[in-house]
Amino acid sequence: MISFRRAIREIDKQMVVLLFLIVVIATVMARRNPFFLTLYNFEVMAQGFLFEALMALGMTLVIVSGGIDLSVGGVFPFAAILMALLLRNGINHFLAMPVVIAASAVVGLINNEMRRILNIPPMIVTMATLLTLRGLNLAITDGRVISRLPSAFVELSSTRILGLPIPMAVYLVAALLILILSKKQRALLHVYFVGGNPTSAALSGVKTERVYRMVYTLSSCLAGVAGILATMVYNSASSNFGQGIELRVITAVAIGGASLTKGGIGSIEGTILGSIFLAMIYNAFVMSGVSTYYQDVFTGVMLVIAVLLRSQLFRQESH
Amino acid sequence: MRRRLLVLLLTLAMVVGLAGASVWAKDPEHYVMIVFTKGAEYFNWTYAGMIDAAKILGDHITTELQGPAEWDASLQARTIDQVIVKQPNAILVACADEATLVPAINRAIDRGIPVITFDNDAPESKRLAYVGTDNYEFGATGARAMGELLGGEGEVAIITVPGAGSMAERAQGFEEELARLYPNMKVAAIINDEGDVARAESLTVAALLANPNIKGIFSTHGYGGPGAAAAVRTVGRQGEVVVIASDYGGPVLELLKTGEIAATVADNPYLLGFQAMMLAYQAAHPTDMPSQNPPFGHVPPLIYGGSYIITSEDLQDPEVAAIYENPPQF
């Protein structure tokens, strides 16, 4: 059996390493590029990984529960397109937003039901949903971008809440809320229990299916919110939005210390750090003018290191 | 006393030297090209054009190629925002679609960075100029080649994807130019292959069997040519049916060499990148004469890079073939 306390201590270690790396990269970049340590660049950096970061919060819970959700890469553009279409048909944005989030929730429910009824691994189920939605997005839009959205909605893209652009404010609220709940609230604590050992969780009276339903629905909803924000930021929506976004989301979660191979391990604060790390990496590559090809090489290597670190940790503990 | 004079003279010489150096050497300038599907042969040609234009303009100019490897407008918009932070002298953008990049392009302009679009435009943005290809003229170029190869006689087919967009403009240009120059020729069939090479082949086979009078086929996109050539082979009419393709992707080049494709119409990505760089430089250097886009320099709002014909004969020359077969890589 895994010692939970020991595992949590090890995650802290990984977070210290991550924090150290973030500081090192920031220092190196600041010396190389005078614009790196500017308030403007911090905003650009954050905006550049915001959708991934938001979706990573939900993905963390799915991964901790022992599953994975690839379908967010289809939900994200789907929600953006649905939002744009509703707006184009004269529906007020405050009405359209809950509709889009509800539609995204339905996708999450379908994922979970397919997983439960057909007893197929989450990776396969959500991959099927990803492909289906990507095809559907193309069919709905005919491959064209939807733009010319109502000006009342377009104005939101330059609206600021307490000096922050709306997407950033949404992320901060969501991250704080889920972070606090993941430490205190029973339903979210059960995610760890179920992920760590579903049988013993069920035996102790945890309604495991309810936990699974919650995490897949939440993951899908957050992808839907990210899609709505994308429509807001770009004043348009297209089926080509979010190519490979599910992999960047999962990478952020894995670098943040969640285990892709074993449930029950991972944390929201780790994922937040992982997101900051990747946001900085993507920004640093453009800032220093290094070819973006190496950006993927770098994140791939980071992912392998993170996963190895995690599985190595378990090998030490299992004997 | 003497030594003091020497020191004074040396100091003076240094000051003059430094001042002189800063007068003679131009301030460094940095220009960034942002594409989508970075790594695609087409955009490597545009960047090759940009680099050569920058060389002509001087050693003080540096260039950089940025953009996502995916066809993802949202990722490209983020790249533009990140490049803006670096405050380059100008940005050259090939837009992944006409709408998504508009806010990012406008942010660049509002921060005093000139933006020139090329290949794919964002007409509703504040970009200063667009360097592109006239697709109507592209189709018309194909029609003139077809007329010449067939001696102004016979029926032809067009492979295209109907609707709006560049392919429809190419098809229209082809039809109208053919009707204008060659009254004895007519378009007997329009084949919608949905941009798919296998569909192009099967539908062209059907068209050729249904109408033996078809003597020429023009494709408005890169996959139709190889599909049509395969169809001609299937019905055994090589040498009787002239195939004119579009662009010069690998399969088209191979079939041009064997002669199964007689000619291809090409736009000029090298020239698009070259011209976009020139316009970016102009925009970054305002003159005393007030321009239409203050505070930026003078640029024409639209430039076409033109279309031209590459024939099967052209590619028999190894030097010419080498240019197309060894595209630049970055």
List the structure tokens of A172.
Answer: 């901060």
CA A272/CA A174 separation, integer angstroms: 11
Q: Is residue B11 part of a domain?
A: no
The count of domains in chain A is 1
H helix or E strand, kind and range, residue A224: helix A208-234
| Residue A222, CA distances (Å) to A56, A61, A175, A276, A294 in order | 9, 12, 11, 18, 29
Low-confidence ranges of chain B (pLDDT < 50): none
DSSP output for B286-303: --SS--SSTTS----SEE
Tell me if chain B has a CB within 8 Å of the CB of A197.
no
3-class DSSP state of A288: helix
Residue type, A15: M
What would the mean pLDDT of A167-191 be, rounded to a whole number? 94
- Can you give the pLDDT at residue A318? 44
pLDDT at A192 > cutoff 90: yes
Tell me how far apart the alpha carbons of residues A227 and A76 are, in angstroms, rounded to a whole number.
5
By C-alpha distance, which of A180, A278, A221, A225 is closest to A51? A225
* CB-CB neighbors (< 8 A) of B78 in chain A: 47-48
Pair (B169, B281) in one structural domain: no
B207 & B291 share domain: no
> Using the beta-carbon criterion (under 8 Å), do B69 and A292 form an inter-chain contact?
yes
B123 and B236 together in one domain: no
Tell me whether residue A127 is in a domain.
Answer: yes
Domain of residue A265 covers 49-297
Identify residue A291 by its one-letter amino acid code.
Answer: S
pLDDT score recorded for residue A187: 87
CB distance A234–B96 less than 8 Å?
no
User: Contact, B265 vs B145, CB < 8 A?
Assistant: yes
Q: Determine, for residues A240 and B73 on separate chains, whether the beta-carbon distance falls below 8 Å.
A: yes
Q: How many helices (H) and strands (E) does chain A have?
A: 14, 2
Query: B263 Cβ partners below 8 Å, 6+ apart?
Result: B145, B149, B244, B245, B256, B309, B310, B311, B312
For residues B243 and B174, give the distance between their C-alpha atoms in angstroms, rounded to a whole number: 14
Residue B50 belongs to what H/E stretch?
helix B41-57
Selected residues 82-101 of chain B with any CB under 8 Å from a CB in chain A: 82-87, 96-100
Which CATH number goes with the domain that contains A107? 1.10.3470
Q: How far apart are CA B112 and CA A31, in angstroms?
A: 25
CB pairs under 8 A between A and B: 96
If asked whether residues B58 and B172 sit together in one domain, one would say no
Structural domain contains residue B118: yes
- The torsion angles phi and psi of B102, rounded to 5 degrees, stand at -55, -50
Q: Confidence band (pLDDT; 50, 70, 90) for A1?
A: very low
Chain B within 8 Å of A291 (Cβ-Cβ)? yes
Residues B37, B160, single domain; the answer is no
A293: chain B residues, CB-CB within 8 Å: 39, 69
Mean pLDDT of A230-239: 96
Rounded Cα gap, residues A30 and B193, in angstroms: 53
Query: B152 and B86, same structural domain?
Result: no
Candidate from B67, B82, B97 with C-beta closest to A145: B97
Read off the amino acid at residue B84. Answer: I
Residue A319: inside a domain: no
CB A80 within 8 A of CB A241: yes
B8 in any annotated domain: no
Taking CB atoms and an 8 Å limit, are B86 and A283 in contact across chains? no
User: Hey, what are B248's tokens?
Assistant: 């010069």
Nearest to A48 among B81, B98, B330 (CB): B81
Q: Distance from A30 to chain B by nearest Cα, in Å?
A: 12
Would you say residue A39 lies in a domain? no
- Cα(A69)–Cα(A62) distance, integer angstroms: 7
Contact B39 A236 (CB under 8 A): no
- State phi, psi for B326 to the nearest 5 degrees: -120, 70
A23 part of a folded domain: no
d(CA B269, CA B251): 19
DSSP state of A269: H
Query: β-pairing, B29-34 with B90-93?
Result: parallel
Gap between the Cα atoms of A270 and A244, Å rounded? 22
Give the number of domains in chain B.
2
Query: What distance in Å separates the CA atoms of residue A117 and residue B243, rounded to the nearest whole number?
Result: 54
pLDDT at A143: 81
Mean pLDDT along residues A136-155:
92
Is the same domain home to B230 and B142?
A: yes
B144 shares a domain with B249: yes
Interface touch B98/A44, C-beta < 8 Å: no
Domain containing residue B113: CATH number: 3.40.50.2300
Of B39, B81, B98, Cβ closest to residue A47: B81
Contacts of A39 in chain B (CB under 8 A): none
The verdict on residue B160 lying in a domain is yes
Rounded Cα gap, residues B7 and B195, in angstroms:
77
Within a domain: residue A316?
no
- Answer yes or no: do B121 and B243 share one domain: no
Q: With pLDDT > 70 as the criterion, what percentage of chain A qualifies?
A: 94
Taking phi over 0 as left and psi of -120 to 50 as alpha, with beta for the rest, B12 belongs to alpha
**What pLDDT does A305 receive?**
83
Q: Are A97 and A228 contacting, i.e. CB atoms less than 8 angstroms apart?
A: yes
Facing residue for B98 by CB, picked from A145, A230, A243: A145
Residues B201 and B281 in one domain: no
Range of the domain at B204: 135-266+312-319
In this structure, the number of other CB atoms found within 10 A of the CB of residue B160 comes to 25
Tokens standing for B48? Answer: 């090759």
H or E, element range at A183: helix A166-184
Any B CB within 8 A of A208 CB: no
Task: For residue A282, list chain B residues with Cβ-Cβ distance below 8 A.
Answer: 82
Answer whether residue A11 is part of any domain: no
| Judgement on whether residues B262 and B274 belong to the same structural domain of the protein | no
Tell me the shortest Cα–Cα distance from A141 to chain B, in angstroms. 13
The answer to whether the Cβ–Cβ distance between B97 and A240 falls below 8 Å is: yes
pLDDT at A10 over 80: no
Cα angle vertex A199, ends A194, A204, to 5°? 80
Confirm if A103 and A224 have CB atoms less than 8 A apart. Answer: yes
C-beta atoms of B79 and A286 within 8 A: yes
Tell me whether the omega of the peptide bond preceding residue B295 falls within 30 degrees of 0, making it cis.
yes
For chain A, the straight-line distance linking the first and the last C-alpha, in angstroms and rounded, comes to 9
What pTM value is reported for the model? 0.86
Which residues of chain B have a CB within 8 Å of the CB of A242? 72, 74
**Min Cα–Cα distance to chain B from A162, Å:** 21
Based on the domain organization, do B161 and B203 belong to the same domain? yes
**pLDDT classification of A116: cutoffs 50, 70, 90:** very high
Closest chain A C-alpha to B325 CA, distance in angstroms: 23
Largest CA distance in chain B: 105
Closest chain A residue to the Cα of B330, Cα to Cα: A291
Asked if residue A24 belongs to a domain, the reply is no
Closest residue on chain B to A289 (Cα):
B64
